[in-house]
Amino acid sequence: MLEDMKADYLILGGGSAGCVLAHRLSEDPRRRVILVEAGGEADSFLVRMPAGRARLIADPRYDWRHPSERDPSIQGRRFFWSGGKLLGLR
């Protein structure tokens, strides 16, 4: 199957920008576009409700939780930087 996959464009990340870019590039039927996203669809009620988005932070279903380096100025603790793990909203 992978041998048959050929594309003019490969877009990594299906967030809002990746989805818009894939859509615009694929409007021309001569172009083949592959969009790769590791997260799932944004179908949770918490995603669509503005006040619910704070609950998504640090939830591994919705957030990549990128770890920082250990910081000696705060006793070697580390923080997690949030990164969305969902397809962009329509």
DSSP string, 43-84: --HHHHSGGGGGGGTT-TTTB--EEPPPBGGGTTB--EE--B
Cβ–Cβ < 8 Å for 56, 46: yes
Taking the C-alpha atoms of residue 30 and residue 9, their distance in angstroms, rounded to an integer, is 12
DSSP assignment letter at 28: S
86 domain-assigned: no
* Residue-number span of the structural domain to which 23 is assigned: 2-81
Residue 18 pairs with which residues in a beta bridge? none
pLDDT value for 58: 86
Domains held by the chain: number: 1
Each residue's pLDDT, cut to its tens digit, for the chain (90 residues) gives: 566 778 999 999 888 888 899 999 999 999 999 998 888 777 788 888 888 878 888 888 888 899 999 999 999 999 988 888 887 765
Q: Is residue 34 part of a domain?
A: yes
Residue 75 counted as domain residue = yes
pLDDT at 56: 86
